[in-house]
C-alpha cells in the first residue's frame, strides 16, 4: 500500500529539514507518494501569499502532511501560517511529545522525562479576535465593557488600549480533553493533568477546568488532576518525572511545550502533530532559523521525529518504532550528530543536517 502525503517545504532551513525527514521516512520502507508543496516567505513574490490555496487543497486531498518550519514575522506582516493551517483545516489537537533520548545534553538527563502535551489549537487568545488601540471598534468595545461593569471603569481609554478576546467553549475544551484521555488509554499512560488559570479567569479557564473534570469521569482507569499554570511551570522544573500527559488551552500549551522541550534538550528534539477529524499535519515545534539557511547545519531530529509521529498516525507502528530507535541510536553514539548535540558546540567532528539524516538511514538499513 502507498500513502499520498503532502510535503510542505517551508522556508529558511525548512527545505533542508524537509529533505532530511523525507529521506528517513522513505528509508523505513513505507511507500509514500509525496506531493511537494511550497509555502512561506520565499514564495510570496511569486504567489502574493505565504500560503497558496494549492497547499490547502493538497492537504485536504491527502488528509496528511509533513511540514517543515515556516517563518512568522514578529509584530508585523502576515499572521502565523501554522495557526492559519490549523484553523483552516480544523486541526484542533496539537500533540507535542517531550521525551529524553540518551546522549542529548540536558540538566535533566538523570530523570525519565517522558511527557506528552495536548494543546487546544483553535480557541483561546490565538483565535485572533483583537482590536487595535485607537480604532473605532475598540472605543465601542471599551465603552460597552465599562458599562457592563456597573460604572466601574476597568479599561483605560481606547486611544492607548488594545483588546484581545479569549473564547473558550464547552465543545472545544471537551474534544481536546477527550483526545488526551483516549491517547492515555491507547498508549497505556497513567495520568492526565489539566492546566489552567481558573482561580482568576473563572468563566474561561473555569469552563475548561469544569469540562476537564466532567470528561475525566468517563475514564476511571486513567488518573486525573489539575494544576494552575504558574504552579505547573514550577512543578515541571522541579519534578517533571511526576507528570505524564498535560492538556491545556491554546496559549498555555504553546508556552509549556517550549518549557518541556527545554527539559529534554531543546526544540531541536521536539516533534509535533496537529490532528483533526479530517486530516493531520506533522511539524517540529521549532521555527525556521533563517540565519542558518543553506548552511547544512541545523539539527533535523525534530522534523524526523515528526515523520515518526506521522507513521504512527498511519498505523505503520513497526516502521515508526524502527525510525525512533534509529534516531535514538545515532544520538546515543554521539558521532554523526549536529553541533548542538555535541558536548562541546565547537566540536569539529559535528556533522551537518544531511549527514545526520544519512546516519539515521544507515541505522535503519
Phi, psi of 116 (to 5 degrees): -130, 125
Spatial CA neighbour of 62 closest among 19, 18, 9, 2: 2
Residue from 143, 230, 317, 347 carrying the catalytic annotation: 230
Residue from 254, 340, 342, 363 carrying the catalytic annotation: 254
CA distance 237 to 156: 36
**pLDDT for 129:** 84
CA diameter of the chain? 72
What 3-state DSSP class applies to 212? helix
Going from the C-alpha of 342 to that of each of 188, 258, 308, the distances in angstroms are 33, 21, 23
**126 flagged as catalytic:** yes
Spatial CA neighbour of 66 closest among 335, 323, 351: 323
CA distance 223 to 181: 9
Per-domain residue ranges of the chain: 1-92+271-365, 107-123+167-263, 130-164
Grid coordinates given for 218: 468517563
Contact 50, 41 (CB under 8 A): yes
Query: 320: burial class by Cβ within 10 Å (0-12, 13-18, 19+)?
Result: buried
| Per-residue tens of pLDDT for the chain, all 365 residues | 899 999 999 889 999 999 999 999 999 999 999 999 998 888 877 888 888 899 999 999 999 999 999 886 554 455 677 878 888 898 999 999 999 999 998 988 888 899 999 999 999 988 888 888 888 888 888 888 888 777 778 888 888 888 899 999 999 999 999 999 999 999 999 999 999 999 999 999 999 999 999 999 999 999 999 999 999 999 999 999 999 999 999 999 999 999 999 999 999 999 999 999 989 999 998 888 889 999 999 999 999 999 999 999 999 999 999 999 999 999 999 999 999 999 888 888 999 999 999 999 999 98
Phi, psi of 28 (to 5 degrees): -75, -15
What 3-state DSSP class applies to 277? coil
Residue from 42, 100, 124, 126 carrying the catalytic annotation: 126
Q: Which residues pair with 65 in a beta bridge?
A: 6, 281
Spatial CA neighbour of 235 closest among 115, 337, 317: 115
CA distance 346 to 183: 40
* CATH code reported for the domain at 107-123+167-263: 3.40.50
CA distance 73 to 86: 18
Matching residue, cell 482568576: 200
What 3-state DSSP class applies to 135? coil
**pLDDT for 74:** 56
Range 1-92+271-365 has CATH code 3.40.1050.10: no
Residue from 67, 197, 342, 363 carrying the catalytic annotation: 197
Contact 14, 69 (CB under 8 A): yes
Q: Give the DSSP H/E element, type plus range, for residue 115.
A: strand 114-120
Spatial CA neighbour of 116 closest among 161, 176, 37: 176
Between the CA atoms of 40, 46, 51 and 53, what dihedral angle is there, to the nearest 10 degrees?
A: -150
Asked whether the whole model's pTM tops 0.75, one would answer yes
Listed as own residue / partner, the contacts of 330-336 with beta carbons closer than 8 Å and 24 or more positions apart are 330/356, 330/359, 330/360, 330/363, 331/101, 331/102, 331/103, 331/104, 331/269, 331/301, 332/101, 332/102, 332/103, 333/103, 334/103, 335/359
Contact 36, 7 (CB under 8 A): yes
Between the CA atoms of 142, 148, 149 and 155, what dihedral angle is there, to the nearest 10 degrees?
A: 0
**197 flagged as catalytic:** yes
| Domains 1-92+271-365 and 107-123+167-263 are alike in CATH topology | no
No. of H helices and E strands in the chain?
12, 12
134 alpha-carbon distance from chain centroid: 34
248 alpha-carbon distance from chain centroid: 12
Amino acid at each position: 500500500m502507498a500513502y499520498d502525503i503532502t510535503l510542505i517545504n517551508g522556508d529558511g532551513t525548512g527545505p533542508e529539514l524537509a529533505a532530511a525527514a523525507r529521506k528517513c521516512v522513505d528509508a523505513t520502507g513505507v511507500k509514500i507518494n509525496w506531493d511537494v508543496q511550497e509555502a512561506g516567505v520565499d514564495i510570496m513574490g511569486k504567489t502574493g501569499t505565504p500560503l497558496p490555496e494549492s497547499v490547502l487543497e493538497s492537504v485536504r486531498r491527502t488528509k496528511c502532511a509533513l511540514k517543515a518550519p515556516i517563518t512568522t514575522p514578529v509584530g508585523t506582516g502576515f499572521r502565523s501560517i501554522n495557526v492559519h493551517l490549523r484553523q483552516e483545516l480544523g486541526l484542533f489537537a496539537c500533540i507535542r511529545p517531550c521525551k529524553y533520548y540518551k546522549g542529548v545534553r540536558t540538566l535533566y538527563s538523570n530523570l525519565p522525562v517522558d511527557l506528552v502535551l495536548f494543546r487546544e489549537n483553535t480557541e483561546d487568545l490565538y483565535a485572533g479576535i483583537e482590536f487595535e488601540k485607537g480604532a473605532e471598534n475598540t472605543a465601542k468595545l471599551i465603552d460597552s465593557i465599562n458599562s457592563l461593569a456597573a460604572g466601574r471603569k476597568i479599561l483605560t481609554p481606547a486611544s492607548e488600549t488594545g483588546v484581545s478576546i479569549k473564547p473558550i467553549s464547552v465543545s472545544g475544551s471537551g474534544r481536546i480533553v477527550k483526545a488526551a484521555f483516549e491517547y492515555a488509554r491507547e498508549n497505556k499512560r497513567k495520568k492526565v493533568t489539566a492546566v489552567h488559570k481558573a482561580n482568576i479567569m473563572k468563566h474561561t479557564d473555569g469552563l475548561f477546568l469544569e469540562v476537564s473534570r466532567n470528561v475525566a469521569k468517563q475514564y476511571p482507569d486513567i488518573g486525573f488532576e489539575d494544576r494552575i499554570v504558574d504552579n505547573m511551570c514550577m512543578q515541571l522544573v522541579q519534578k517533571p518525572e511526576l507528570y505524564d500527559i498535560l492538556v491545556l488551552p491554546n496559549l498555555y500549551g504553546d508556552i509549556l511545550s517550549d518549557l518541556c522541550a527545554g527539559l529534554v534538550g531543546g526544540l531541536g528534539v521536539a516533534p509535533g502533530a496537529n490532528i483533526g477529524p479530517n486530516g493531520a499535519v506533522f511539524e517540529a515545534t521549532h521555527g525556521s532559523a533563517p540565519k542558518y539557511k543553506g548552511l547544512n547545519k541545523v539539527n533535523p531530529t525534530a522534523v524526523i521525529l515528526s515523520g515518526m509521529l506521522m507513521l504512527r498516525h498511519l498505523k505503520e507502528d513497526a516502521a515508526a518504532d524502527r525510525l525512533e530507535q534509529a534516531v535514538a541510536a545515532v544520538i546515543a553514539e554521539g558521532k554523526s550528530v549536529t553541533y548542538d548535540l555535541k558536548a562541546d558546540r565547537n566540536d569539529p567532528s559535528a556533522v551537518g543536517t544531511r549527514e545526520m539524516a544519512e546516519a539515521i538511514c544507515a541505522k535503519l538499513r
